[in-house]
Structure 1
Amino acid sequence: MCDTTFFGDKLVQAVKEGKVSEDMINDAAIRIVRTLLAFKKAPDPQTYPRKIIACLDHIALAKKAAQKAMTLIKNEKGVLPFAKDKAKTIVILGKLGNVENIGDHGSSRVFPHYVVTPLAGVTKLLPNAEVIYYDGKDTERAKKIAKEADAVIIVAGYNHSDEGEFIAASEEFNTALGGDRKDSLGLHKNEIDLIKAAGPVNSNTAVVLIGGNMILIDEWKDSVPAILLAYYPGMEGGTVIAETLFGENNPGGKLPFVIVKKESDLPKVDWNAEEISYEYYHGFQKLEKEGVTPSVPYGFGLSYTGFDISAPSFEVKDSKVIAKATVRNTGKCAGDEVVQFYVGFSKSKVDRPIKSLRGFKRISLGVGESKTVEIVCPVEKLAWFNQDHWEVEKMSYEGFIGSSSADVDLLKGSFTV
């Protein structure tokens, strides 16, 4: 690592004192040298002059990544997208609404030439509208401002100090104090208070969540009709958030994790423990094993259009499991759907998950358009580890295909290996 706080001279001293063997150091050094030699033997065929950094192609790619990631997890009565022609006064609430927030300030930190904030994105998209920003410290003031607006956007969530790689403040490395979430898996109390206060006073309100992990929503989700998860959307994040809220980008992202109703649905973390053991199952598979219903299921994500998935089929051919279904756009605008293929193991002789994700495919469909989606999974991906080898059970498996891990979003079939 670039920072030798925990090693460096201390590691040299540990070797001298016999606490760390020279063989261990040699093994570690060999791994590094082996990697360097491997890259030297197969150099990158392309050169990257400094002038192309943040060029137009790079900016377009950053924007595309953010567009594809936007995940709509609530949209009551179709409040989103906001109507651009009716949005004369727009209110943006929350301290993260005007912050250049791209996540970690540790080893994964990047330094783009600029970062578009949500406030800047909305202001640029709607130059003729009055865009009012308030950090939300005074909830009564926030309520008053929100009540008179045509659209309200509450930006809440995390930054590097909440969930970044833990790193102490250092002038030498130009870093600020960062760390993991330790107090709660939900929003900060002041953000929850802001949403509960300002959300109900205006029916055209959406919460935009910023963060790189699951965020509990049950404490406040009934206070607003719409929730958009933007993750850490990068340098063009504010642009894409604005375009998504006002209908120029149709969200098609899906949750890469399950959102639980309460923290007790997940294993507890003891931050002071020197050792912690967890059981085998985690995430949505743990919840399914325990019969716990999540707040929002794994793989879930709404769109501004609708999709119908039908005609599921599952077959095994040439050592591959092939899942198919027909997807039709039933709404009034083009959009993307992510079709997901899960496999169930109820006939297994050993303890297996209720089901596991074994493939997915994102497709784009115009209004009224239909496509047959085919998802292929190698049979070997159905194996379990039996003592010293991987074993594929010869049995009947359940096949599930649909738009999320929830039973209501899946069509069921079976196949035999």
Structure 2
Amino acid sequence: MNKIKKGMTEQEIEDYVEWVLSQLTLKEKVSQMRGNGLISKIMMDKGFGKRAYDAAGLKKFGIPPFKFTDGPRGVIIPGSTCFPVSMARGATWDLDLEERVGEVIGKEVRAHGGNLFGGVCINLLRHPAWGRAQETYGEDPFLLGEFGAALTRGVQKHNVMATAKHFVANSIEFSRFKVNVIMDERTLREVYLPHFKRCVEEGCATIMSAYNKLRGKFCGHNDYLLRDILKKDWDFQGFVHSDWIRGVKDTIGGVTGGLDVEMPRVKYFRFTKIRRALEEGKISEAMIDEAAGRVMKTILRFVTREDPQKYDPQLIGCYEHYQVALEAAEKSMVLLKNKSGILPLNKDKIQKIAIFGKYAKIKNTGDHGSSYVSVKKVITPWEGFKNYLGDSIELVHDNGTEIPRVCKIAKEADIAIIVVGLNYKDEGEYIKELKRGGDRKILSLHAEDINLIQTVANENNKCIVVLIGGSAIIMEEWKDQVPAIIMAWYSGVEGGNALANIIFGDVNPSGKLPFTIPKDPKNLPFFDVNVNEIEYGYYHGYTLFEKEGYDPAFAFGYGLSYTTFNYDNLIVELKDDKVIATVDVQNTGKVAGDEVVQLYIGFGNSHIDRPIKLLRGFSRVFLEPNDLKNVKIVVPRKNLAWYNPKSKSWEIEQIKYIVYVGKSSKTEDLLTTQFTL
């Protein structure tokens, strides 16, 4: 076959690419392994991120380039829908919603003229100080994998190639270009790789390599990662492209390591350098054929499919897409404290609300690095309250800088709402030249924010703290002094409206923490922002806290509701290589609400060192008052396995396992039963 058509089968694509390769010169083959430039496009556009950036492609053979757009908060090209950050979306525990977010992103990529979305960020949150924590979904590999797979499904429904990144162990920002991460094989296989494998199983088109080293080799040169594990063990059929600019360090290392494309411009994969390496016998033409072939096949798999719809520019940032962003913001917010049921507020019993903090009126959607989505209009918390209340209640705002004024305003108000937290200067992608972003210096709030909270709380015992940020914030200095705390994240274009809907009870909060919030940072793994080499251990997050007996401030999976739920009748059966758990969940309160039912498998009887328990399933369910639903969660038996480095294989222990089901990872929130293999 020597022509392209719609609806090509996999075999037809294989045959066509093999024929094309037989016709190509070496220079043409190498052209498939490189981005098609960046600087001239930035100069032409008078800024970065204003278009999709192209790479590869062979016009004379009808193979278009792939056109890269970044994320994961949405398509970064101006005007796109800005969603809550991935960490917020992880707090929804709603895979259907994340798939719909992916569909919106896929549609907008196409409407912008792109065909690749580089925004399935699934790096594991090892430590909350990591600057790009907001770009991922949490601390648990299973949660990461399921959310990455859902986003991939949604994006690729619209024939957009999805990229899972950054492969692998990328979780320190300041030292990301140099740090060498050391870990043993079990830690690599059981903790840092499962979520990437899950996205490969879902069919993600491409993988982006990380900047850092793993065991002494840069990830973009790491043949063990890229060739042995990704392409051989997992049978990955797509292509691997580098992280941008500094993701390749030398020609031979990149080619032999299994990297297929240097992005977004060419430095080490230049034709002259490739040809010289070939002439010196350092690389083979078979490696070039493989890389070029992977790129062309992947492009053709997507561009030859029939589109499910048209992608007009009017889709970009449209009303329907903003409604998905609103839903994501509402479902993501986590109610951490609600003493005496102060929330939701009853507007009929309130005359005056004082809102404190600069972030109440500032557009604050998160990092300003490669994930930044430029939008003109963002609903701030202040605007959300104004939209909700109109003129029915007097609203007063104060930045909180003049303490005597704060005291006076707080004392006169019926309710005080304090909006505090972080911004892109505190955490985000580290861009040295712009002096922005990087890893967090402290895990608590800034001193002025703590002082503001304590000052307001002393004057008004009906105060609500709203936290803005992308990861865990330590609250020990002040959390006992306030009756209500909401984690609102960087909540996207509709965040202010979502917050008002939560606070006044139109929406029942249902978010659950996708990470552990410690009382003391000393309980966290070692973290050094300038380290040259670091060892990542087997335990972190809730697995570390449970192993060491640390008491968290707020546990993984924790989140309150305006209603209450009761769990009963947990039953487990083994059937067809599956563990099937069912449990009755009843809404025992007075308002409707969503509950996230969480299932953990316990390994307390293991003969080897394993976590006390691991998340292995979850289900989000809606219940009216008094409604009872029997919830089923299925765990494939393979998800019980551990990696045996001696046999180099996954093994399932023949032991008694514990099943935990409940509303958070806390022991007191869980029902238990057992089964034996």
Which of 400, 413, 417 in structure 2 is aligned with 1:153? Answer: 417
Task: Name the counterpart of 1:51.
Answer: 314
Which of 98, 113, 117 in structure 1 is aligned with 2:380? Answer: 117
Task: Name the counterpart of 2:674.
Answer: 414
Alignment of 1:13-28 (within 5 A): 23=283
Whether 1:367 aligns to 2:625 is yes
Task: Kindly indicate whether the alpha-carbon contact (under 8 Å) linking 1:54 and 1:113 is maintained by their aligned counterparts in 2.
Answer: no
Whether 1:218 aligns to 2:476 is yes
**2-structure distance, mates of 1:35, 1:215:** 41
Q: How many residues align?
A: 410
Which of 547, 553, 562 in structure 2 is aligned with 1:304? Answer: 562
Which of 242, 252, 277 in structure 1 is aligned with 2:535? Answer: 277
Task: Kindly indicate whether the alpha-carbon contact (under 8 Å) linking 2:365 and 2:491 is maintained by their aligned counterparts in 1.
Answer: yes
Instruction: Between 136-145 and 310-319, report the one with greater CA deviation.
Output: 136-145
Whether 1:191 aligns to 2:191 is no
Alignment of 1:85-104 (within 5 A): 85-104=348-367
Cα displacement (A) at 1:140: 3.1
Task: Kindly indicate whether the alpha-carbon contact (under 8 Å) linking 2:603 and 2:613 is maintained by their aligned counterparts in 1.
Answer: yes
Task: Kindly indicate whether the alpha-carbon contact (under 8 Å) linking 2:600 and 2:661 is maintained by their aligned counterparts in 1.
Answer: yes
Cα displacement (A) at 1:134: 1.0
Task: Name the counterpart of 1:290.
Answer: 548
Which of 139, 149, 164 in structure 1 is aligned with 2:428? Answer: 164
Deviations 1:244-301 (A, max 9, x none): 1111110011000010101111023212211111211111001101111101011000
**2-structure distance, mates of 1:28, 1:296:** 47
Cα displacement (A) at 1:138: 2.0
Change in CA separation of 1:133 and 1:11 when aligned onto 2, cut-off 3 Å:
farther
Task: Name the counterpart of 2:393.
Answer: 129
Cα displacement (A) at 1:56: 1.8
What SS is found at the alignment partner of 2:465?
Answer: strand
Task: Name the counterpart of 2:344.
Answer: 81
Task: Name the counterpart of 1:208.
Answer: 466
Whether 1:65 aligns to 2:328 is yes
What SS is found at the alignment partner of 2:426?
Answer: helix
**2-structure distance, mates of 1:208, 1:329:** 26
Task: Kindly indicate whether the alpha-carbon contact (under 8 Å) linking 2:444 and 2:475 is maintained by their aligned counterparts in 1.
Answer: yes
What SS is found at the alignment partner of 2:455?
Answer: helix
**1-structure distance, mates of 2:294, 2:367:** 27
Instruction: Between 217-226 and 38-47, report the one with greater CA deviation.
Output: 38-47
Deviations 1:343-389 (A, max 9, x none): 10111111110000110111111111111111111111111111211
Amino acid at match of 1:348: S
**1-structure distance, mates of 2:597, 2:550:** 24
Cα displacement (A) at 1:32: 5.0
Task: Kindly indicate whether the alpha-carbon contact (under 8 Å) linking 2:367 and 2:437 is maintained by their aligned counterparts in 1.
Answer: no
Change in CA separation of 1:354 and 1:152 when aligned onto 2, cut-off 3 Å:
same
Amino acid at match of 1:125: Y
Cα displacement (A) at 1:99: 1.1
**2-structure distance, mates of 1:288, 1:166:** 32
Deviations 1:163-203 (A, max 9, x none): 11112456xxxxxx431333111111111111111123212
**2-structure distance, mates of 1:259, 1:20:** 50
Task: Name the counterpart of 1:39.
Answer: 302
**2-structure distance, mates of 1:146, 1:35:** 60
- Superposition CA RMSD, Å: 2.5
Task: Name the counterpart of 2:585.
Answer: 327
Task: Name the counterpart of 1:391.
Answer: 651
Task: Kindly indicate whether the alpha-carbon contact (under 8 Å) linking 1:139 and 1:198 is maintained by their aligned counterparts in 2.
Answer: no
**2-structure distance, mates of 1:20, 1:242:** 61
Task: Name the counterpart of 2:661.
Answer: 401
What SS is found at the alignment partner of 1:281?
Answer: coil
Task: Name the counterpart of 2:524.
Answer: 266
Task: Name the counterpart of 2:616.
Answer: 358
Cα displacement (A) at 1:162: 1.5
What SS is found at the alignment partner of 2:480?
Answer: helix
Task: Kindly indicate whether the alpha-carbon contact (under 8 Å) linking 1:67 and 1:251 is maintained by their aligned counterparts in 2.
Answer: yes
**1-structure distance, mates of 2:349, 2:555:** 33
What SS is found at the alignment partner of 2:533?
Answer: coil
**1-structure distance, mates of 2:283, 2:350:** 67
What SS is found at the alignment partner of 1:324?
Answer: strand
Cα displacement (A) at 1:241: 0.4
**1-structure distance, mates of 2:490, 2:503:** 16
**2-structure distance, mates of 1:95, 1:252:** 26
Q: What TM-score, normalized by structure 2, do the two folds share?
A: 0.57
Cα displacement (A) at 1:11: 4.5
Task: Name the counterpart of 2:495.
Answer: 237
Change in CA separation of 1:379 and 1:91 when aligned onto 2, cut-off 3 Å:
same
Change in CA separation of 1:274 and 1:20 when aligned onto 2, cut-off 3 Å:
farther
Which runs of no fewer than 5 residues in structure 1 stay unpaired? 171-176
Change in CA separation of 1:30 and 1:294 when aligned onto 2, cut-off 3 Å:
farther
Greater helix percent: which structure? Answer: 2
Cα displacement (A) at 1:237: 0.2
Task: Name the counterpart of 1:174.
Answer: none
Task: Kindly indicate whether the alpha-carbon contact (under 8 Å) linking 1:86 and 1:150 is maintained by their aligned counterparts in 2.
Answer: no
What SS is found at the alignment partner of 1:276?
Answer: strand
Amino acid at match of 1:131: L
Task: Name the counterpart of 1:142.
Answer: 406
Task: Kindly indicate whether the alpha-carbon contact (under 8 Å) linking 2:454 and 2:481 is maintained by their aligned counterparts in 1.
Answer: yes
The alignment-based identity, stated in percent, is 45
Change in CA separation of 1:32 and 1:219 when aligned onto 2, cut-off 3 Å:
farther
Amino acid at match of 1:102: T
**1-structure distance, mates of 2:675, 2:624:** 32
Task: Kindly indicate whether the alpha-carbon contact (under 8 Å) linking 2:356 and 2:418 is maintained by their aligned counterparts in 1.
Answer: yes
**2-structure distance, mates of 1:32, 1:146:** 61
Cα displacement (A) at 1:29: 6.7
Deviations 1:88-112 (A, max 9, x none): 2111111111111111211222133
Change in CA separation of 1:390 and 1:117 when aligned onto 2, cut-off 3 Å:
same
Cα displacement (A) at 1:79: 0.7
Change in CA separation of 1:28 and 1:294 when aligned onto 2, cut-off 3 Å:
farther
